[in-house]
């Protein structure tokens, strides 16, 4: 099976502080990998490093077998960053931002095609923003902006989605909409790497959980279906019957 991401001994330092301390991670085509972990454990840094957005200070990483600096097939990757950073002082409509997800597919100087317009329309529909396509993104709430970012990635029709907290600040109905859309894409064989605090409706889709603690992988294996959301990282909830429960596959917390 083709490898979408291959990181070996990946290290990242930010502000002279080690944030990733030697990550080995291979993601194969068709996998749905949840990157879990407490605040500040290094999840966002890991996905950014996988995409070559943050340089490694040690180790190596490959995108579809190619180092990020030499990778050219960016249309194969749809990245949903944690925050909307488009627009700035320049007003953009929802449609414009979503359509920008097609850029990596467009040949130089080639005008926007019917296929681009159709993919943009489908993406807007999938996140429930088709009727607001002409509105400025600046006027949207955080959760709606998140939906725009998801639509931008969908519009590019990539092989692999990398989503950093796609459901953070998104209402329950939109989370379910994202889960339904991802389920369809996964059924078509797309690859997904998503960072999450809580998986919510995405949980049934996840085939593998990678738990980051203090810049290292401390669990890589089955997702926490069996143990329920209370076992997910970020949940400090202690189950009243915890002592009676079988050991969870996510015994990732530091010993007290
Ligand atoms: N640009 C930066 N410069 C310096 N330190 C940074 C920078 N970005 C992140 N860090 C630090 O690196 C560590 C890991 O951050 P990262 O955002 O990867 O964690 P995270 O697991 O995604 O956290 P969260 O769940 O809060 O988003 C944190 O201690 C953070 O303060």
> How many CB atoms sit inside 10 A of residue 45's CB?
21
| Minimum-distance ligand 1 atom for the alpha carbon of 82 | 27
How do residues 12-46 score in pLDDT, each as one tens digit?
999 999 999 999 999 999 999 999 999 999 999 99
Whether the CB of 233 sits within 6 Å of ligand 1: no
Tell me the two tokens of residue 55.
């340089």
Of residues 250 and 162, the one with the higher pLDDT is 162
The Å distance, Cα 233 to ligand 1 centre, comes to 16
The predicted pLDDT at position 247 comes to 37
The predicted pLDDT at position 138 comes to 86
**What is the 3-class SS of 141-204, one letter each residue?**
CHHHHHHHHHHHHHHCCCCEEEEECCCCCCCHHHHHHHHHHHHHHHHCCCEEEEECCCCHHHHH
Q: Which residue has the CA at smallest separation from atom 31 of ligand 1?
A: 40
All structural domains of the chain with their residue ranges? 3-244
Whether the CB of 16 sits within 6 Å of ligand 1: no
**Alpha-helical segments (H) within 103-141:** 114-126
Beta-strand (E) ranges in the chain? 3-14, 17-28, 32-37, 58-63, 77-80, 160-164, 191-195, 208-213, 216-221
Could you tell me the fold of the domain covering 3-244?
Answer: Rossmann fold (3.40.50)
Q: Which residue has the CA at smallest separation from atom 17 of ligand 1?
A: 44
Q: What is the percent of the chain with per-residue pLDDT over 70, rounded to a whole number?
A: 82
The Å distance, Cα 119 to ligand 1 centre, comes to 34
247 within 8 A of 227, measured Cβ to Cβ: no
Whether the CB of 61 sits within 6 Å of ligand 1: no
Taking residues 77-88, report their average pLDDT. 75
ipTM of the complex: 0.94
The Å distance, Cα 40 to ligand 1 centre, comes to 5
Q: Length of the chain in residues, anyone?
A: 256
Whether the CB of 42 sits within 6 Å of ligand 1: yes
Q: How far is CA 142 from the centre of its chain?
A: 17
Distance CA 47, CA 131 (A): 32
């Amino acid at each position: 099976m083709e490898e979408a991401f291959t990181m070996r001994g990946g290290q990242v330092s930010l502000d002279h502080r080690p944030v990733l301390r030697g990550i080995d991670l291979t993601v194969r085509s068709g996998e749905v990998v949840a990157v879990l972990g407490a605040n500040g454990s290094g999840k966002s840094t890991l996905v950014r490093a996988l995409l070559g957005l943050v340089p490694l200070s040690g180790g190596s990483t490959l995108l579809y077998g190619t180092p990020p600096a030499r990778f050219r097939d960016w249309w194969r990757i749809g990245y949903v960053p944690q925050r909307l950073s488009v627009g700035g002082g320049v007003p953009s409509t929802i449609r414009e931002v979503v359509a920008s997800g097609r850029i990596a597919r467009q040949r130089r100087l080639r005008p926007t095609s019917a296929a681009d317009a159709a993919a943009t329309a489908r993406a807007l529909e999938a996140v429930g923003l088709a009727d607001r396509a002409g509105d400025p993104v600046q006027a949207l709430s955080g959760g709606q902006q998140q939906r725009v970012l998801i639509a931008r990635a969908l519009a590019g029709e990539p092989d692999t989605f990398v989503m950093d907290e796609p459901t953070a600040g998104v209402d329950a109905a939109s989370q379910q909409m994202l889960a339904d859309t991802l389920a369809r894409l996964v059924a078509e064989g797309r690859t997904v790497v998503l960072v999450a605090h809580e998986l919510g409706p995405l949980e049934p889709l996840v085939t593998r959980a990678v738990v980051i603690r203090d810049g290292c992988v401390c669990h890589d294996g089955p997702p926490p279906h069996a143990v329920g959301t209370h076992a997910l990282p970020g949940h400090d909830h202690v189950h009243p019957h915890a002592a009676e429960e079988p050991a969870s596959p996510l015994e990732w917390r530091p010993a007290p």
